[in-house]
Amino acid sequence: MASRGVLVRSAVLVAACGALLVAAGQGPSDGRVLDAEMHHLGNDKTPDWKEAPEAPTAPPLEVTFDSRANPSEWLLDVSARDVDNQWALDLNGVEFARLRKVNDELRVGRYPVPPGLVKDGRNTLRVRAVDQPQDDITVGRFVLHERSLRELARLGRIAITVVDAANKRPIPARITVVDATGAPLELYYAERPLAAVRPGIAYSGDGGAVLEVPAGPCTLWASRGMEWSAAKVELDVEYGAERRVVLALTREVDTTGWIAADTHVHTLTYSGHGDASVEERLVTLAGEGIELAIATDHNHHTDYRPLQKELALTPWFTPVVGNEVTTDNGHMNGFPFEPGAPIPEYQETDWKKLVAGIRAKGAKVVILNHPRWPEGGKDPLTNFGFDDATGLNTAGQEFTFDCIEVVNSDCPTAPPNLVLPMWYALLERGLRFTAIGSSDSHAVGVIVGQGRTYVPSATDEPTQIDVDAACGAFLRGEVAVSLGLFATIQVDGHRMGETFRADGDEVEAVVTVRHPSWVTPRTLELVVNRDVVATVPLDSSSSAESALQPDDTLTRKVRRVRLQLPRESNWIVAVARGDKVDAPFWRMELPETLAITNPVFVTR
């Protein structure tokens, strides 16, 4: 434990005035230095961190200082590195902030100190670990500014309402704000129960937000997932002034008869990593238009329903209790579970027994998650000696799960093109595993529902979804994988998951590709028995005759393709590909937008 007295005012801490979290070394601070040293808190030696001792000190860290009381809000600067877990800032025994999450770069965080928290005389500032086990961090260079963040950062206010253009009613949405260079702006004083706020991002569960940002030009977007338009406005924010903005979103993608599901969703609260609290997760689900939300915290049954009701978010989605059964031999999502059901055994290394254990606890659907992650040959398929050519594995593992996650939008090291050969090989063996898409989001800034699965539904009302019927659709392969594009296929009038006998050796595939106006589809591939047998353009810029079709609209493309059936038993899949989205409101980790249908099975 360390204690530091007041240092002379001439000691200099380097910090910037325009952001709540800034790089160290961006200009001098005019505040009072409480402690100029950096401290290493934690358990392990860290020789690479040169600003603090290599050997750690056990938390908490205490810094004492003399001061007058603060009659109004003041501001505290704190430098820190590698903050992954939860660390609290206490002043005189009262927690007033949590250290902002930062990576391996040394950064300065700026934390408002509420009026009256600083006392006349001796004060004690404490940094303590909230999590057990704690991580290793460096922290220090505490500077107290006797003026508010609003004054120091010269903030102006933006009051935003996001509405449905069809009825002018407020709707949950994501608000994205960047500065003149395109960098995310820090958003101040935006936290409230129906918000999830990060640099440049403010999710709103009711369509409203009040943000304070540094004076100057900025660009603001409102969005609500891939089914909706994106609204944009450019502003010049004035110090101390308020701007009011109403942004209207239009439903652009017709998903009548389908509901949007994310089968792979996490919270910091129950998974123990990432940064999205369970409250923030519910707000982001509503803000991205997910209608069937499967809670899949690691080895934990999370029930969103009580909190969803408390936050008045029930109208926007149907929650389901799931679990990412997390083993040393791969991860599998199971759902649905009863909230109080026993947790599946996650020490089991035999996949057949593992899946049986998940089903025994109540799950109707079991999904193999990110089968080609972790990278570097450490994924479970490589460990099992899986052969993409034959679909066999040398370890003799039996694959008895129901679905395979072929799109995981937060797994750039294992993109879909690495997973599709595995799925195709299993289909060639006659194993009908359903392809699904998900986000695997652990953080507010990782877009929940960016990867998603479209599930047929008898209702379009998000509160009335039949979970049992949805599970049946997953098991029968009637669902479609989406990453910015949504595609469905019919082969001679038969849909995904169906098997039929063709009249001859040729069939017609009709593929419909839907997308928002801010996504550009490029090509459609027809895959027969793992071979791409036809590629047709989807974008109107192509000179090919098939690029323009009578049924096309701005947000829908329809293609009819005649296909030969090369053998007695066949399967047909459609894959639509489009440009990567770089816009700040839907920035992608994967290299392209994508839609993948599940197979139609054809005999002749």
pLDDT in tens, 121-146: 999 999 999 977 678 999 999 999 99
My answer on whether 343 and 466 are in the same domain is yes
Query: Average pLDDT, stretch 184-197?
Result: 92
Q: Which of 22-31, 179-188, 294-303, 389-398 has the lowest mean pLDDT?
A: 22-31
Pair of tokens at residue 451? 């990867």
Distances in Å between the Cα of 315 and the Cα atoms of 311, 411, 461, 463 are: 11, 30, 9, 6
What's the pLDDT band for 367 if we cut at 50, 70, 90?
very high
Residue at which a domain ends, from 151, 180, 204 = 151
pTM: 0.90
CA 533 – CA 126 distance, rounded (Å): 65
Same domain, 80 and 222: no
Q: Which residue has the tokens 């595993």?
A: 433
Q: Average the pLDDT over each of 215-219, 375-379, 435-439, 497-501 and give the range with the smallest value.
A: 375-379
**Radius of gyration of the chain measured on its C-alpha atoms:** 27
Domain end marker among 249, 266, 294: 249
Contact of 385 with 395, CB cutoff 8 Å: yes
Kind plus residue range of the DSSP H or E element containing 305: helix 305-310
Predicted pLDDT of residue 84: 84
d(CA 525, CA 538) in angstroms, rounded, equals 10
Residue 451 lies in a domain: yes
Mean pLDDT of 226-253: 98
CA-based nearest residue to 439, from 394, 402, 502, 484: 484
In the predicted model, what is the mean pLDDT of the chain?
92
Higher pLDDT, 29 or 12: 29
d(CA 294, CA 324): 10
Same domain, 314 and 446: yes
- Three-state SS annotation for 374-419: CCCCCCHHHHCCECCCCCCECCCCCCCCCEEEEEECCCCCCCHHHH
Measured CA to CA, the distance from residue 6 to residue 186 in angstroms comes to 30
CA distance 446 to 273: 13
> What values do phi and psi take at 268, rounded to 5?
-65, -35
The pair of structure tokens assigned to 346 is 């996650």
Q: What is the CATH number of the domain that holds 566?
A: 2.60.40.10
Please count the helices (runs of H) and the strands (runs of E) in the chain: 8, 37
Look at residue 12 and tell me if it is in a domain. no
Residue 57 contacts by C-beta under 8 Å, 6 or more apart in sequence?
1, 2, 39, 40, 41
The answer to whether residues 244 and 258 belong to one domain is no
Q: What's the domain count of the chain?
A: 4
What's the pLDDT score for residue 8? 24
State the pLDDT at residue 596.
Answer: 99
Question: Are 517 and 454 part of one and the same domain?
Answer: no
Are 295 and 303 in contact by the 8 Å Cβ rule? The answer is: yes
Residue 5 in domain? no
Residue 351 placed within a domain: yes
Among all chains, which residue has been given the structure tokens 């409250």? 279
Mean pLDDT of 577-582: 97
**Quick one: 475 and 580 in the same domain?**
no
Count of beta carbons in the 10 Å neighbourhood of residue 191: 11
Q: Which helix (H) or strand (E) holds 286?
A: helix 278-287
Answer for the pair 175, 203: CB distance below 8 angstroms, yes or no: yes
- Output the domain CATH number for residue 439: 3.20.20.140
Contact between 232 and 220 under an 8 Å Cβ cutoff? The reply is: yes
CB atoms within 10 A of CB 492: 16
CA–CA distance, 539 with 555 (Å, rounded to integer): 11
pLDDT band at 467 (very low <50, low <70, confident <90, very high): very high
Closest residue by Cα to residue 325 from 281, 369, 267, 373: 369
The residues, any chain, with a CB within 8 Å of residue 97's CB and separated by 6 or more, are: 76, 88, 89, 111, 112
Residue 238 within a domain: yes
Q: Which one of 445, 480, 515 terminates a domain?
A: 480
Using H for helix, E for strand and C for coil, what is the string for 20-41? CEEECCCCECCCEEEEEEEEEE
Whether residues 169 and 138 fall in one domain: no
Q: How many CB atoms lie within 10 A of CB 207?
A: 24
- The SS3 of residue 284 is helix
CB 371 within 8 A of CB 330: yes
Chain centroid, CA 590 distance in Å:
13
158 and 147 in a common domain: no
In a domain, 7, yes or no: no
DSSP type of residue 328? B
Token reading at 231: 């609204």
Q: What is the pLDDT of residue 148?
A: 93
* Residue 16 banded pLDDT, cuts 50, 70, 90: very low
316 with 191, same domain: the answer is no
The average pLDDT across 19-33 equals 58
Q: Is residue 289 part of a domain?
A: yes
Residue pair 459/442 in contact by the 8 Å Cβ criterion: no
Q: Are residues 320 and 468 both part of a single domain?
A: yes
pLDDT digits (tens, 9 = 90+) for 488-499: 999 999 999 999
Question: What distance in Å separates the CA atoms of residue 286 and residue 99, rounded to the nearest whole number?
Answer: 27
408 to 152, 451, 514, 516: CA distances (angstroms)? 41, 6, 20, 20
pLDDT in tens, 69-96: 999 999 999 999 999 888 999 999 999 9
Domain that holds residue 146: 21-151
Q: What is the dihedral of CA 355, 358, 363, 366, to 10 degrees?
A: -40
Asked whether residue 183 falls in the same domain as residue 104, the answer is: no
Distance CA 18, CA 40 (A): 27
Report the pLDDT averaged over residues 449-466. 98
Q: CATH number, domain at 230? A: 2.60.40.1120
313/460 same-domain check = yes
Question: For residue 178, is pLDDT > 80?
Answer: yes
pLDDT bracket for residue 18 (50, 70, 90): very low
Give the whole-angstrom CA distance, residue 281 versus residue 411. 19
Query: What is the CATH classification number for the domain harbouring 144?
Result: 2.60.120.260
For residue 450, pLDDT beyond 70 = yes
pLDDT of residue 542: 52
272: confidence class by pLDDT, cuts 50, 70, 90: confident
Residue 99: CB atoms within 10 Å: 21
| 260 in any annotated domain | yes
pLDDT in tens, 335-366: 999 999 999 999 999 999 999 999 999 999 99
